[in-house]
Amino acid sequence: MRSSPSRDFFEREPSKTVRILSHSTLRAMLSRRRLLATTLAGGAAAAAAGTTLASGSRQGRWSAYPAQDDLSIIIGTLGDASTINPFLAGDSEDEWRCKMLYDEFVRQDPVSYAPIPGIAAEWSVDGLAYTFTLQPNVKFSDGSDLTTEDVAFTIKGFLTKSVGSPKLDRFLLIDGAPAFSDGSADDVSGIEVLDPQTIRITLSAPDASFLYSMRYVWIVPKAQLEGKNLADDEFFQQPVGAGPYVFQSWTSNADFVATRNEHFFESGKPAIGTFTHRVIADSQSLVIALQSNEIDASNYPNPTGKDLLEENTDLDLIVPPFGAPNGWLFNLENEHLAKKDVRRAIAMALNSEQFAADSLLGLGKPGVGPIAPDSWAFDPNLQPVPYDPEGAKALIDGSGSAGAEITFSVNQGNIFREDWLTYTQQALKDIGIEVNAELVDYATHVEAVTKNHDFTVTGVDFTGASSDPGLLRLQFGTGASGNYCGYSNPDLDTLLDQARNTPEVEDAKPIYAQIQAILMEDLPAHWAWYRPFLHAVNKSKFAGYTDSGDYQLFYTLRDWTAAAQP
């Protein structure tokens, strides 16, 4: 995991599971998917008979409606986080837990994605200067006051290059930030603490993503961390934040537990006193756990289990809109994948229409490009890579990569990605590429990709944009902190900078159309299919929840309440 001492605090280290799968094994896995309904039904019967699905799981249906003060929730997730250090958080599990523990300086509306108040109660804009005012009486979870000195300290922490934050690039358009980050300046000239409640941040150029990026400012107390190594301090074993919850315990690859922050600035919130974020690393097992009320909610049950889930009348099942497509992200350091013809051949050999129909069972669709289809920046004229296995084989032969062995990895337990791996192995064999298939536990794989860049091809979501198309600059800009594949194109860099400096949506649309066209031509990733999601929550126990296409179901957990008793 990332180099945070918090890992030593947990009861056990996460398993470094890597399963190397043979061609015949993957074929058997694909056949198993065809029997999914039977598998789920059998699993439900086993659960009803008392089979334990996860350590510490509840058996049977709960029967009592808890009092508001005793309200708790068990949330099932497919993979563990790798850190709760806000400076190192780099994937969805990390980021959600950080939001719960530290809150966000500027929140986003979960439906419209518009910036809304968080710890910053309000702000004004004068040219390139943003003046923020804090919520009155906002405090850390230990009862100490949170001030703008803490805000300034936190932003500078993200900018400190030695910390190694994947969010560093988000703040480099603050005036003076590059000089501070490279060590040639002692302070950031564009960050001015005006008084304990007011801070002014001045940019060096327009940044269309600036307010969106401010949601990642998870504020830490300067008094406890000044002069310390923000990447490796024992503070993060028992962190103090200003979010709705306070860290209690973390058993790796099992349960993460947090309880209500009694000093949270929103009076009366959160109503849910305790949440447990439980790893159940298989989407079919999540279906069974939800169906039997072993867990209360999840973003990740297998959508093909919808019929079984509907048998539990306690559940509210929500189908969110598609996000950016899944597919493959290529590491261009690999001698074969450095060739554009090889990357294109791989894309041409994969029939996304067939995969969507067969393995996605009509729930997902073929994908195209790196931006979610309901985003304002999505180009509806974008064309997918055509399915052409003969042409793909010709490209492989012409590139000199015939017979190449390439490792493709996905996170175990995500059946759609497992099936995609199976299908890819079969299809690429026909064009002269031997796929070494790996299933890896989620947290281990996230660290390998985001920290060490130790991967060849990954099927986990490390690219694409839904709420903020500006993410593409962080993912594909030359040398950007989120550019894990090593891709570089000066023409794309110019366009990404233009888009960043263009806050008006209508003016930015044609720029993003060019960006998408270049990425579809160069294919540092193959965006192949839209992953179907099914979100589930126990509506008999909870109310006040809001689903979100990008932020999913638990972004507003602080607002949830107990459902009305029957």
Q: Which CATH entry fits the domain spanning 36-79+253-320+533-562: 3.40.190.10, 3.40.225.10, 3.30.2130.10, 3.30.300.340?
A: 3.40.190.10
Is the N-terminal amide bond of 206 cis, ω within 30° of 0?
A: no
pTM for the whole structure: 0.85
For residues 413 and 78, is the Cβ–Cβ distance under 8 A? yes
Task: Report residue 69's pLDDT band, with 50, 70 and 90 as the boundaries.
Answer: low
Q: Which CATH entry fits the domain spanning 92-231: 3.40.190.10, 3.30.470.10, 3.40.630.40, 3.90.76.10?
A: 3.90.76.10
Could you tell me which of 98, 228, 86 has the C-alpha nearest to residue 167? Answer: 86
Task: Report residue 46's pLDDT band, with 50, 70 and 90 as the boundaries.
Answer: very low
First to last CA, the chain: 46
Which pLDDT value is given to residue 344?
98
Which pLDDT value is given to residue 19?
55
Residue 403, strand partner residues: none
For residues 445 and 83, is the Cβ–Cβ distance under 8 A? no
For the residues 467-476, what does the mean pLDDT come to?
A: 95
In terms of residues, how long is the chain?
566
Task: Report residue 68's pLDDT band, with 50, 70 and 90 as the boundaries.
Answer: low
- Cα torsion angle, 298, 304, 305, 309, sign: positive
Q: Which amino acid is at 500?
A: R
For residues 272 and 132, is the Cβ–Cβ distance under 8 A? no
For 230-285, the pLDDT digits (tens) are: 999 999 999 999 999 999 999 999 999 999 999 999 999 999 999 999 999 999 99
CATH architecture of 326-530: Roll (3.10)
Distances (CA, A) of 91 to 171, 223, 446, 488: 18, 28, 7, 22
Which pLDDT value is given to residue 70?
83
- For 534, phi and psi rounded to 5 degrees? -135, 115
For 444-453, the pLDDT digits (tens) are: 999 999 988 9
For residues 499 and 511, is the Cβ–Cβ distance under 8 A? yes
Task: Report residue 30's pLDDT band, with 50, 70 and 90 as the boundaries.
Answer: very low
What percent of the chain is modeled with pLDDT above 90?
Answer: 84
The tokens 């994908």 sit on which residue?
367
Q: CA 446 to CA 43: how far, in whole Å?
A: 29
For the residues 308-322, what does the mean pLDDT come to?
A: 96
Q: CA 397 to CA 402: how far, in whole Å?
A: 5
Specify the 3-state DSSP secondary structure of 191: strand
The residue extents of the domains of the chain are 36-79+253-320+533-562, 92-231, 326-530
For 224-238, the pLDDT digits (tens) are: 999 999 999 999 999
For 128-153, the pLDDT digits (tens) are: 999 999 999 999 999 999 999 999 99
